[in-house]
Structure 1
Amino acid sequence: MLTGVRIVFLGGDARQIEVIRKCVEMDATVSAAGFDKWDSPCEGVSLGGMSAELLDGADVLVLPTVGCDDEGHISAKYTEEPLQLLTEHIEALPSHCTVYTGMAKEYLKRLCAQRGLELVELLDRDDVAIYNSIPTAEGALVMAIQNTDFTIHGSKAMVLGMGRTGFTMAKSLQGLGANVTMGVRKQDHYARAEVMGWSPFMTDQLLEHVKDVDYIFNTIPSLILTAKVISQMPRHTCIVDLASAPGGVDFRYAEKRGIKAMLAPGLPGIVAPKSAGMIMAGALLQSISERILVKGDKQ
């Protein structure tokens, strides 16, 4: 239980609403800014505007999965009012406050460091990334199916990168009957892919493997699908880029060649916001509870 813990939420999308609901269920004292257009706010949440007074006395500050940009602007789906995190807001937080987000840019890291506040990036947790790979893979499959006129079953589907998302993506494709090839950069990943029944190759040999590919799902966050590589693909190839922006595809050249290539960031929050919110809520609540226990032991 989080009785006596004051949590402030700033902005977010449908995922954040699921996190808020869970915190209320755990008996936390919850305040939020950026939710004035929330149709059915849950009972027990104090909604207000962005101000230093809102943050005063907060034990926990929760920002959206994408945090804020390099000027402090916070994405907020449920308000038309601009939401911007400034130095004055961070200075209003107590020194014991922990700041949570999915991923943090340098602006937020700098503000927290200057104030001496602990900053936790939930997407750095292996459990969150693994769970999030499921709605990511499902969303990628939906995009691929909607943008092609042939089945995944029996197709040649390539996955680039065997991290947490790449592994789940390949396993999902395999379950649908695709012939999966896996581009890897490490020998242990090569061995694992082979054991899983996929056809692995090292990514420096990519050019040799794209000449008959139907689908490519990229998870490598650097330019790997260059113009030279794309020039060797069949025109019907469908590319879904799951890597962090700006992705790993030469989108300009893909369009010039008539190859469908799509950058697909933030799929968990788009295709399965409830599930994605529950994943984030579980990680947040576990982290808060662990810190309460540690502080209690020190006392």
Structure 2
Amino acid sequence: MAHKKIVVLIGGDARQSEIAEQCLARNMKVYMIGFDQWERNTAGIIKATGENDIPWQIVDVLLLPVSGLKEGNKVEAQFSSSETVIKEEWLRKTKNDCLLVTGIDTEPLKKLEKRIKRKWIRLIERDDVSIYNSIPSAEGTLLMALQETDITIHQSHTIVLGLGRTGQTIANTFSSLGAYVKVGTVNPAEKARAEAMGLEVFDLKDLASVVEKVDICINTIPAGVITKKELVHFPHHALIIDVASYPGGTDFTYAKQRGIKAMLAPGLPGAVAPRTAGQILAKVVFQLLEEQVTEKEDENAFS
């Protein structure tokens, strides 16, 4: 009889709380480190410290927060009163096929990965997670635009920079509400996709000449695309919402000097819809475990 799957969550926010609930519903045993202030007390979910209260040798999945690993092996922990630090000795005790799952990639994570040889998975790099997350990201962007402007989205001049998974859903959302949407990109496939969606498209090198009448500019590109060169052409009433991963693609200091409202808003799924975002991440974790079982069965079949 297969043993009950064991999941350890280290740090995080309300998304991790939902992942824990989803794992429990799948009859998994859940340990949570960095949740001493979490008010839920549920049988099957154990608040732990990692010190002699977790059977590391039989853990199947270890999840880090979506924000990833920070310097000093620290992780974000919204439900803890103290710093939450991952000890390498914990990871070394895990079995070789333990899945180590994180959100975004970071330099400390790359260094740790070299020292701890396990199967590391970055959820945010997966296409399925990006597609699922694009929906709450678009809703969160729309909410910010409604709150931070004094105009309707309908007939607003809206620019979306980048037409990846998130940019595509954002552009479609604003267009469906009657905004005049233009898409800026250097990617030929994204240009073709924008035209297929019936949207006006321009090359990013021409951004400065396009923004003169913009009301809302939404950046999804994690690179410096809205610089001083472009910002001098923005009207003062314009709103910039930068949903790219930190530090975004906007010169926020210069935007402030010009009196242009520019907002960095990474991690919108966790901010506006943590329950849904947690369900999305849990669904992918379950899929990873199923894939692992299939791989083992295939290996046994050919051995």
- Scaled by the length of structure 2, the TM-score of the pair is 0.94
How big is the shift at 1:108?
2.4
Please state how far the C-alpha of 1:208 moved relative to its aligned partner: 1.2
1:29-48 to structure 2, matched below 5 A, reads 29-48=29-48
Q: Does 1:135 align with 2:145?
A: no
Q: Deviations over 1:109-128 (max 9, x none)?
A: 33233231110111111111
Question: How far 1:298 sits from its partner (Å)?
Answer: 2.4
Deviations 1:46-78 (A, max 9, x none): 211133652622121111111220221111111
Stretch deviating more after TM superposition (134-143 or 183-192): 183-192
Secondary structure of the structure 1 residue equivalent to 2:75: coil
In terms of mean alpha carbon deviation, does 271-280 or 82-91 score higher? 82-91
Q: Is the 8 A contact 2:166 2:220 kept in 1?
A: yes
* Equivalent residue number for residue 179 of structure 1: 180
Indicate the residue corresponding to 2:77 in structure 1: 76
SS of aligned partner of 1:209:
helix
The 1-side partners of 2:41 and 2:240 are apart by 39
1:172-251 superposed matches below 5 A? 172-251=173-252
Amino acid at match of 2:183: M
- Deviation track 1:133-158 (CA, whole Å, cap 9, x = no partner) reads 11111111111111111111111000
Q: Aligned with 2:269: secondary structure?
A: helix
SS in 2 for 1:54: coil
Give the alignment's TM-score, normalised by structure 1.
Answer: 0.95
Q: SS at the partner of 2:284?
A: helix
Gapped regions of structure 2 (runs ≥ 5): none
Q: 2 CA distance for matches of 1:109 and 1:6?
A: 25
Using the alignment, how far apart are the partners of 2:96 and 2:107 within structure 1? Answer: 20
Partners of 2:298 and 2:36 lie apart in 1 by 39
Contact 1:3 1:27 survives alignment (8 Å): no
Shift of 1:106: 2.8
Moved more, 82-91 or 118-127: 82-91
Aligned partners of 2:13 and 2:79 also within 8 Å:
yes
Range moving further from structure 2, 33-42 or 65-74:
33-42
Alignment-derived partner of residue 60 in structure 1: 61
2:162 and 2:190 in contact (8 A); partners too: no
Q: String of CA shifts for 1:134-187, please: whole Å, max 9, x gaps.
A: 111111111111111111111100000011111001000001110000001122
Count of residues in Structure 1 that have an aligned counterpart in Structure 2: 298
Equivalent pair of 2:216/2:238 in contact (CA under 8 Å): yes
User: One-letter code of the match for 2:135?
Assistant: I
- The residue identity in structure 2 corresponding to 1:162 is L
Residue 290 of structure 1, CA deviation: 1.0
Change (3 A) 1:116 1:188: closer
Gaps of 5+ in 1: none
Q: Which aligned segments of 4 or more residues in structure 1 are displaced greater than 3 angstroms?
A: none
Distance 1:270 1:296, change over 3 A: same
Q: Is 2:159–2:214's contact at 8 Å kept on the other side of the alignment?
A: yes
